[in-house]
Amino acid sequence: MPQIVCENASLGYDGKPIVTGLSFTVNAGDYLCIVGENGSGKSTLMKTILNLTPPLAGSIRMEGLKPTQIGYLPQQTQVQRDFPASVLEIVLSGFQGQRGWRPFYTKEEKVAAGANLKKLGLEGFQRRCYRELSGGQQQRVLLARALCATQKCLLLDEPISGLDPKAAAQMYEIIQQLHREGITIIMISHDVGVALADATHILHIGKHLFFGTKEGYLHSGIGRAFLSEEEHK
């Protein structure tokens, strides 16, 4: 069942296209990894999927999914690293889309927030201070917030940037686990090696475009060229 369908889209901003002729489909339960060089338009694609910038041409549409139902894990900002907030306050803010004009959170939402923390191995962390957690724990808190916003589809922007190898491996394991539970994963990553280990589909954007299964990517000219380039870095 397709969730996101992108047809012959041109992406860019201020009327200047960065990527043209982009087509891909994300089915429910897929694990799509988006790779490409810096400046190739990965973040623009992400904003387009989240419905923050419209495509310049072509179309991108959701089926059975609203753009606000995508659980988004943005990259951490400097402001957040020393932000005085408890873990619960941050995870609850994942419900902001559902909260609307209601000025408070319901009991059910608080319980659900706790459940999502438990799922990510942070049981009992509700009252802890966010800025005192390790990088890996902070990232898991933000992932728990994304889970509050969705049960269907997660969009992860460089989820392991700034993490040490052990925390990164743990993060990938959690993402893999969520994927097994049936949540669609869309991940932007620099880390091609691990991406290829876990993902089911690859979208390569840049001068040349590729979309297909992981096996197809490994045998394509563009995939082999990119991988050998990454290895030599």
Residue numbers at the binding site for other proteins (CB under 8 A): 50, 52, 67-68, 70, 72, 74, 77, 79-80, 83-86, 89-90, 93-94, 96-97, 99, 103-105, 127, 129, 131-132, 145-146, 149, 155
Q: How far is the CB of 97 from other proteins (least distance, A)?
A: 4
Give the nearer residue to other proteins in terms of CB position, either 116 or 194: 116
Q: How far is the CB of 217 from other proteins (least distance, A)?
A: 27
Q: How far is the CB of 103 from other proteins (least distance, A)?
A: 5
- Any residues with CB less than 8 A from the CB of 164 and at least 6 apart, and which? 135, 136
Q: Residue 116's closest CA among 49, 169, 71?
A: 71
Give the nearer residue to other proteins in terms of CB position, either 14 or 181: 14
CB-facing half-sphere around the CA of 14: CA atoms within 13 A: 0
Q: How far is the CB of 85 from other proteins (least distance, A)?
A: 5
Give the nearer residue to other proteins in terms of CB position, either 52 or 218: 52
What would the two tokens of residue 150 be? 């969705």
Q: Report residue 157: phi and psi, to 5°.
A: -105, 105
Cβ proximity of 108 and 95 under 8 Å: no
Q: How far is the CB of 223 from other proteins (least distance, A)?
A: 30
Q: Residue 2's closest CA among 21, 20, 26, 36?
A: 26
Give the nearer residue to other proteins in terms of CB position, either 85 or 225: 85
| Dihedral angle computed from the Cα positions of residues 207, 36, 41 and 18, in that order, rounded to the nearest 10 degrees | 0
Cβ proximity of 60 and 67 under 8 Å: no
Give the nearer residue to other proteins in terms of CB position, either 146 or 175: 146
